[in-house]
Amino acid sequence: MALNIILIGPPGAGKGTQAKLLEQAYQIVQISTGDMLRARMTKGDDFAAEIKKIIADGKYVPDEAMVKMIDERINEPDCKNGFILDGFPRTVAQAEALDKMLTAQSKALNAVIELKVDEEALVERIVGRFSCAKCGATYHSKFNPTKVEGVCDVCGGTEFTCRTDDNEETLRKRLETHNKQTAPILPYYASKGMLKQVDGMQDVAHVSVAIKSLLTV
Ligand code: AP5
Ligand code: MG
Ligand code: ZN
C-alpha cells in the first residue's frame, strides 16, 4: 500500500530535511512546492516574475495555481509508492482541494504530521541554512554542516547557495503568513483525527525517529 504523508510546519521547521530522510527510508517521493516554485521561477515569463515577487514578499502563490501543480504532480508514476507533501496544503482551500483530488485519483492520506518549533529557533535555523548548488541538498552552518567543509555530502559539489527569502526580515513576513493562513489547517486535520504532532526542537535524527514511530503504528 502507498504511504502518503503531509508535513506541516512553519518556515525552517525541518520539513525539507525530514522529507529527504523519509524518501530514503520508505522509497517514496518528496513533493516540495517551494522547490517546484523556485524551479518554475527560472523560466523568465510572467508567472515566473509573479512567483518571484510573492516569495520575496513572504506571501503565498494563489491557491488555484498550487492546486493544479499538485494535482498533476501526484498523478505521476513515481508517486505510486507514496509521497511526502512538503509545503502543501498551506491554506484551508488547498486542503479541501487536496481531499477532492485524492478521492478522484483513488488515493488516501496516511498521516498529517506537524513539526512544532519555537519561533526564535526558526530564525537561527533559517539564517544559517545553505544548500548545494548542484543537487540542492540542504545544510546548516551550525546544526547540520557538511561532513567535509566546502564539499557536499551527497554529490561532492563545491558550490553552495542561499535562498533570497532566507533573511530575518522576509522570514518574519513568512511566519506571519504561516500563522494567518496555514495554522488554520491544523484544526481541519485534527477534526478528521489525522493530525499527529512531533517535537521539532529535537535534533534532526531524533525528529526523524519520532516521525517514523508515528508511521509504523
Ligand atoms: P518553502 O520552500 O516551502 O519554504 P518554507 O515553508 O518557508 O519552509 P523552508 O523550506 O524554509 O523550511 P523547512 O521546513 O523545509 O526547513 P529545512 O528542512 O530546510 O516555500 C517557499 C515559498 O514558496 C513560500 O513562502 C510561498 O511563498 C511559496 N509557496 C510554497 N508552497 C506554497 C503553497 N502550497 N501555496 C502558496 N505558496 C507556496 O530546515 C531549515 C534549516 O534548519 C536547515 O538549514 C536545516 O539544516 C536546519 N534544520 C532542520 N532540522 C533541524 C533540527 N531538527 N535541528 C536543527 N537544525 C535543523
Ligand atoms: Mg523546505
Ligand atoms: Zn550536492
Q: Could you report the per-residue pLDDT of 106-127, keeping only the tens digit for each? A: 999 999 999 999 999 999 999 9
pLDDT of res. 216 = 76
Give the percent of the chain with pLDDT over 90: 98
The grid coordinates of residue 141 equal: 552552518
Model confidence pTM above 0.85:
yes
* Cα–Cα distance for residue pair 44/94, rounded to 1 Å: 26
Looking at the CA of residue 58, tell me the nearest atom of ligand 1.
25
Q: Could you report the per-residue pLDDT of 46-99, keeping only the tens digit for each? A: 999 999 999 999 999 999 999 999 999 999 999 999 999 999 999 999 999 999
**Residue whose CB lies within 8 A of the most ligand 1 atoms, among 143, 173, 185, for a mutation test:** 143
The grid coordinates of residue 184 equal: 488554520
Residue 22 CB contacts under 8 Å (≥ 6 apart), including other chains: 5, 28, 30, 84, 208, 211, 212
* Cα–Cα distance for residue pair 57/217, rounded to 1 Å: 40
DSSP structure string for 104-146 = HTT----EEEEEE--HHHHHHHHHTEEEETTT--EEETTTB--
Annotated catalytic residues are: 15, 90, 129, 163, 174
Residue 1: pLDDT band with limits 50, 70, 90: confident
State yes or no: pLDDT of 217 exceeds 70. Answer: no
Which residue has a Cα nearest atom 56 of ligand 1? Answer: 143
Task: Report the pocket of ligand 1 as residue ranges, CB < 6 Å.
Answer: 9, 11-17, 33-34, 37, 54-55, 58-61, 66, 87-88, 90, 94, 125, 128-129, 138-140, 143-144, 174, 203-204, 207
To the nearest whole number, what is the mean pLDDT of the chain?
96
**Residue whose CB lies within 8 A of the most ligand 1 atoms, among 7, 17, 50, 163, for a mutation test:** 17
The grid coordinates of residue 51 equal: 512567483
pLDDT of res. 117 = 97
